Amino acid sequence: MKLRLLCFCLLVTWARAASAPNIVFIFSDDHAYQAISAYGDARKLLETPNIDRIAKTGMRFDRCLVPNSICGPARATVLTGTYNHINGFMNNSGSIRFDGAQTTFPKLLKKVGYQTAMVGKWHLGSDPTGFDFWQILIGQGNYYNPPMIRQGETIQNAGYVTDIITDVSLDWLAKRDKTKPFLLMCQHKAPHREWEPALRHLNADGDRVYPEPATLFDDYAGRGPAERGQDMTIEKTMTERDTKLIAPLRLTPEQRKVWDDYYEPRNAKFRAANLSGKDLVRWKYQRYMHDYLATVRSVDESVGRVLDYLEKEGLAENTIVIYASDQGFYLGEHGWFDKRWIFEESVRTPFLMRWPGVTKPGTASKDLVSNLDFAETFLDAAGVPIPSEMQGRSLRGVASGMKPADWRTGFYYHYYEYPQPHRVRPHYGLVTERYKLVRFYGVGDDYTELFDLQKDPQELRSVWGEPAYAATTAELEKELARQRKELKVPETIPPEWFGGANAGGGAGKKKKQAKQGEL
Ligand code: CA
């Protein structure tokens, strides 16, 4: 009897593994949806034909929200399907490391027979767990000739980071055990600061003048001290390394020559012009767009190579392909770069998914989904029960165009990191289809804001306290309190959650410049 049961269990496991879809999770860092042509930004900043292939053959998600809009915390959420107060990774200060002993979806997939690989940017302090193969950048990693750690061993690479991550990913796919389903997490550094392009993409736009966002010179009127007190403007915060007035360190002499041939004549012209005020901000914005968009070009090429491989190998029909970023990013809106805020350009991350048999080609969804739902979705796809501690939901219904009747109508957000690197005050809040309720706390006086996205899509004026919004505010407050309780958010946040040593910095002490590793 026991033997028959064992045989039956093995058969079920084998059958599940044999039919389970492969998962290719392509994840970039700080990629704004405004810089993906499938999202149709009014500025038409660039074409991303390969990322758009996923949109054309699958679903584009227009409202994919992140629980905490910075690198490490977003990655911890993707792996665990939980908020940061549960998975323990609240900030990027370096004072905390991801606890790799906790349950993650790659571990659960591995248990039912998946081969699992993680290649590229990891940024969680501890070594990856739950992967048959891993090769990661060191911390933030470097764009040029980056050293990496392959299963504990440091190795040197020559070339451009996005190309290397793609090569290693495709090499692993080619060498995998073809009798098993696979999970590949291909995680790019690009287009993270300092936006250093592949040398072949310098001047890919032929010195194009990029359209400016309407809010490039935002004065933050209509909002509070948090928005006015941040340190993330193109005007004041962007460094000479960001704007390529200083070259990066890791270029070989040959690479440096190509770099100098492009940047030096343009930098000389800039220095001679002696710009100031708005003209200087405009110049910096143009340089920022050139560099940022050029790094996206390499990511788009990488996506094309991975999609081509899946098609050539006959894998496309049984492989879920995702393209997403760890959060959104500002491309000059409100005068900013970076992320962190609950506001749209930051909290909304691009997310495109082709799930054969589930998504229909060329569809789009405005439902409130999140990277909190990714782990649950992959487990559902593989037929693995979703652990009760996970806080998101499988996207199968939403992705098929049949949103469950009880799908979320409000999404909880919580940002902690302060004061470094960008002095964005800790805040939490609720995002709904139309409104955004935000509470700033822990620094100076606490205060609340309310935005009506229907009337004010650029979030320029808080309407909190206005009598016309009294009933809406009361409803949102009630739902916010309900979600905080359901999600087990502590009433009092320990100061170390703001970033260890940084937490003691106080509002009055301003450090000169964020180090690369702090972002
Ligand atoms: Ca990021």
Task: Report the separation in Å between the CA atom of 281 and the middle of ligand 1, taken as the mean of its atom positions.
Answer: 24
More confident residue, 509 or 484: 484
Pairing assessment for the beta strands 64-65 and 363-365 based on DSSP bridges? unpaired
Which range is least confidently modeled, 7-11, 397-401, 435-439? Answer: 7-11
Q: Report pTM.
A: 0.94
Q: How far is CA 234 from CA 38, 64, 286, 389, in A?
A: 26, 26, 11, 41
- CATH 3.30.1120 residue spans of the chain: 412-515
Q: How far is CA 363 from CA 54, 94, 323, 358, in A?
A: 11, 40, 15, 11
Task: Report the separation in Å between the CA atom of 70 and the middle of ligand 1, taken as the mean of its atom positions.
Answer: 5
Task: Report the separation in Å between the CA atom of 31 and the middle of ligand 1, taken as the mean of its atom positions.
Answer: 8
Task: Report the separation in Å between the CA atom of 14 and the middle of ligand 1, taken as the mean of its atom positions.
Answer: 38
Q: How confident is the model at residue 7 (pLDDT cuts 50, 70, 90)?
A: low
Kindly report the CATH number that applies to the domain delimited by 412-515.
Answer: 3.30.1120
Task: Report the separation in Å between the CA atom of 77 and the middle of ligand 1, taken as the mean of its atom positions.
Answer: 13
Predicted local confidence at residue 2, as pLDDT: 54
Task: Report the separation in Å between the CA atom of 140 and the middle of ligand 1, taken as the mean of its atom positions.
Answer: 10
3-class SS letters over 340-361: CCCCHHHHECCEEEECCCCCCC
Phi, psi angle pair for 476, to nearest 5°? -65, -40
Tokens, residue 186: 């291909």
Owner of token pair 């302090």: 125
Beta-carbon neighbours within 5 Å of ion ligand 1 = 29-30, 71, 326
Task: Report the separation in Å between the CA atom of 351 and the middle of ligand 1, taken as the mean of its atom positions.
Answer: 14
Write the pLDDT tens digit of every residue in 138-179: 999 999 999 999 999 999 999 999 999 999 999 999 999 999
Task: Report the separation in Å between the CA atom of 474 and the middle of ligand 1, taken as the mean of its atom positions.
Answer: 34
Tokens, residue 225: 């001290």
Task: Report the separation in Å between the CA atom of 376 and the middle of ligand 1, taken as the mean of its atom positions.
Answer: 22
Task: Report the separation in Å between the CA atom of 268 and the middle of ligand 1, taken as the mean of its atom positions.
Answer: 32
Q: What distance lies between CA 396 and its chain's CA centroid?
A: 21
Task: Report the separation in Å between the CA atom of 69 and the middle of ligand 1, taken as the mean of its atom positions.
Answer: 8
Write the pLDDT tens digit of every residue in 238-286: 999 999 999 999 999 999 999 999 999 999 999 999 999 999 999 999 9
Task: Report the separation in Å between the CA atom of 107 and the middle of ligand 1, taken as the mean of its atom positions.
Answer: 23
- CATH 3.40.720.10 residue spans of the chain: 2-193+296-402
Which sign does the torsion angle of CA 100, 103, 109, 110 carry? positive
Write the pLDDT tens digit of every residue in 450-468: 999 999 999 999 999 999 9
Task: Report the separation in Å between the CA atom of 27 and the middle of ligand 1, taken as the mean of its atom positions.
Answer: 10
Task: Report the separation in Å between the CA atom of 471 and the middle of ligand 1, taken as the mean of its atom positions.
Answer: 36
Task: Report the separation in Å between the CA atom of 317 and the middle of ligand 1, taken as the mean of its atom positions.
Answer: 30
Task: Report the separation in Å between the CA atom of 29 and the middle of ligand 1, taken as the mean of its atom positions.
Answer: 4
65: enclosing H helix or E strand: strand 64-65
Q: Residues 397-404: contacts with CB within 8 Å, 24+ apart?
A: 398/365, 398/367, 398/369, 399/59, 399/353, 399/355, 399/358, 399/359, 399/365, 400/358, 400/359, 400/360, 401/360, 401/363, 401/365, 403/365, 403/367
Q: In the CATH scheme, what is the homologous superfamily, with its name and number, of domain 2-193+296-402?
A: Alkaline Phosphatase, subunit A (3.40.720.10)
Task: Report the separation in Å between the CA atom of 269 and the middle of ligand 1, taken as the mean of its atom positions.
Answer: 32
CA distance 473 to 494: 27
Write the pLDDT tens digit of every residue in 52-90: 999 999 999 999 999 999 999 999 999 999 999 999 999
